[in-house]
A and B are shown apart, each in its own frame.
Chain A
Amino acid sequence: MQSVSAHRGSLDVVTALIQKTISPVARPLAGLFDAMGDYSHGVIRSHSLAEQNRAMKAQLDAMSIYAERIDQAEQEIENLRKLLDQPPLPGMTRVNAPVIGLHQTEGLLEVGAGTNKGIQPNMAVVNGQGLVGLVQTVTTDECQVALLTTLNINVGGVDASRKPPETGLLSGRGGPVLTMTLFNSKSTVASGDRILTEGVSKHIPAGIDIGRVISVEDDPYTGTRKASVDPAVDVGILREVQILK
């Protein structure tokens, strides 16, 4: 009987019956014994398991740092790619320069290009994300760039999301955001609008990204509307910039 069943690829009746009566209890019990085995194994080898755990945590930390660095490097590559893909500006030349230092409190950037490369004060400094700031002081081979957010830096801006475009003056306040004073008191500028350079200054061409509007409010003292603008450029990861001369 057993051989016939085996030839058919099935269990014989007796074996199947015994297994059916045993397996409903044996299976959960096997799981329980496995759990008990794991527990006792854990208790006996607790010291080495703790060491392994520590080593794995350290590896995980190292990997997370590594992953963070990869993200930063990818972001840099992306920025450099954007820099290279910038369209030519009529009547202007782009001078590539490395960022040497950043003084965030003062709102200043040190850049490795000076008078030897034809750099002069008030020239616009850009990167792949948008307008970084304006050249303030220049030495032979270096220059200091005032970031857009620096106090008393003013740039003409235009809201590209509105038709007709709305214009205003963007000013740094020393904080993380810019204030855009809108010339039209009934302006329809709204959160999320993209602000570009207006191109009135001979040093700053039109159409360079400045940032996005995050809030708009009326100024009761001056009767104007003011918009807070989040700068497009992430200053913390700047490695290379272009100076427009």
Chain B
Amino acid sequence: MKSAVAAVAMLWLSGVLESSLSPRLAIGYGSPDFPLIVLVCLGLFCDRRATTLLGFGAGLVQGAVAGANLTLYIATRSVAGFLLGWFNQLEVQGNLLVAGLVCFVVSLGAQLLLMFLGVYHGSLPPFLAGTLITAVYNGVIAMPVYALLNKLARSTR
């Protein structure tokens, strides 16, 4: 129950940051995707069911903040969450670098999935460049966030 409340709080915080900070950190078409960062960083501590639910929440927040099609965001983030849960089953030793790399890959995958589902209708190169910048941003931000969560998780055990 505590974990669920913490997850909801973190998703809410990610929505706040997505709405207020993300546009101010934009480089070209790319900017940090805070709900996705929360999905990866929290998801690394969860099982497949929980990561899928987290993905659902992240998609909901991201879609609502952007005022976009909720279904597509929920679908892509849920798939990303499910795959993250599957990755967790590989029992890879979690550390900052892994968190950064996983966040980078998940961001790329989620955005490319959005593209294939037809969210983006403009020219492809700017979208891909933006996706790459977003993925790098997310990977970099995920490392300290993961470190913080890891510390919190250890202290509560």
Residue in B15, B17, B65, B70 whose CB lies within 8 Å of A2: B70
Across the interface, do A29 and B67 meet the contact criterion of CB distance under 8 Å?
Answer: no
B16 contacts A25, CB within 8 Å? yes
User: Beyond A15-B64, A18-B64, A18-B65, is A23–B19 a contact (Cβ under 8 Å)?
Assistant: yes
A34 touches B24 (CB 8 A): yes
Residue of B nearest to A26 (CB): B19
A138 to chain B, nearest CB (A): 79
Quick one: closest A residue to B65, CB to CB? Answer: A22
> Which residues in A have their C-beta under 8 angstroms from that of B67?
11, 15, 19
A-chain residues with CB within 8 Å of residue B39 when the two chains form the complex: none
B15, B24, B64: which contacts A14 (Cβ < 8 A)?
Answer: B64
Within 8 A of B (CB), among A23-70: 23, 25-27, 29-30, 33-34, 37
B64 touches A19 (CB 8 A): yes
Q: Do most interface residues of chain A lie in helix, strand or loop, or is the interface mixed?
A: helix
CB nearest to A25 among chain B residues: B16
Whole-angstrom distance from the CB of B76 to the nearest CB of chain A?
16
| Distance of A2 Cα from B63 Cα, bound (Å) | 11
Q: Is the interface of B mostly helix, strand, loop or mixed?
A: helix
Q: How far is the CA of A103 from the CA of B13 in the complex (A)?
A: 78
CA distance A30 to B15 in the complex (A): 12
| Contact between chains at A30 and B19 (CB < 8 Å) | yes
Name the CB-closest residue of B to A19.
B64
Query: Given the interface contacts A2-B70, A2-B71, does A19 sit within 8 Å of B65 by beta carbon?
Result: yes
Q: In the complex, what distance in Å separates the CA atom of A37 from the CA atom of B23?
A: 12
Assembly CA distance A27 to B19 (angstroms): 8
Interface residues of A in 4-25 (CB under 8 A from B): 11-12, 14-15, 18-19, 21-23, 25
Query: Number of contacting residues on A, CB 8 A?
Result: 18
In angstroms, Cα B70 to Cα A12, docked, is 10
Return chain B residues, CB-CB under 8 Å to A30.
Answer: 19-21, 24
Within 8 A of A (CB), among B1-45: 12, 15-17, 19-21, 24
* A22 touching B24, Cβ below 8 Å: no
Residues of chain B with a CB closer than 8 A to A18's CB? 15, 60-61, 64-65
Does any Cβ of A come within 8 Å of B69's Cβ?
yes
List the B side residues contacting A22 at CB < 8 Å. 12, 15-16, 19, 61, 64-65
Residues of A within 8 Å of B65, CB to CB, are 18-19, 22
B20 cross-chain contacts in A, Cβ below 8 A: 25-27, 29-30, 33
In the complex, chain A residues whose CB is within 8 Å of the CB of B12: 21-22
Residues from chain A with Cβ under 8 Å of B64 in the complex: 14-15, 18-19, 22
A36 to B113, CA, bound (A): 35
Would B16 and A26 count as touching, CB distance under 8 A?
A: yes
A29: min CB distance to chain B, Å: 4
* Contact partners of B69 in chain A: CB under 8 A: 2
Partner of B24, one of A2, A25, A37: A37
Q: B16, A14: Cβ atoms under 8 Å? A: no
B149 to chain A, nearest CB (A): 21
Beyond A22-B64, A29-B21, 12 extra complex contacts between A and B, CB < 8 Å? A2-B71, A14-B64, A15-B64, A15-B70, A18-B60, A19-B64, A22-B12, A22-B16, A26-B15, A30-B21, A33-B24, A37-B24
Give 18 A-B contacts (CB < 8 Å), ordered by A residue: A12-B70, A14-B60, A14-B70, A15-B63, A15-B70, A18-B15, A19-B65, A19-B67, A21-B12, A21-B15, A22-B16, A22-B61, A22-B64, A25-B16, A26-B19, A26-B20, A29-B21, A37-B24
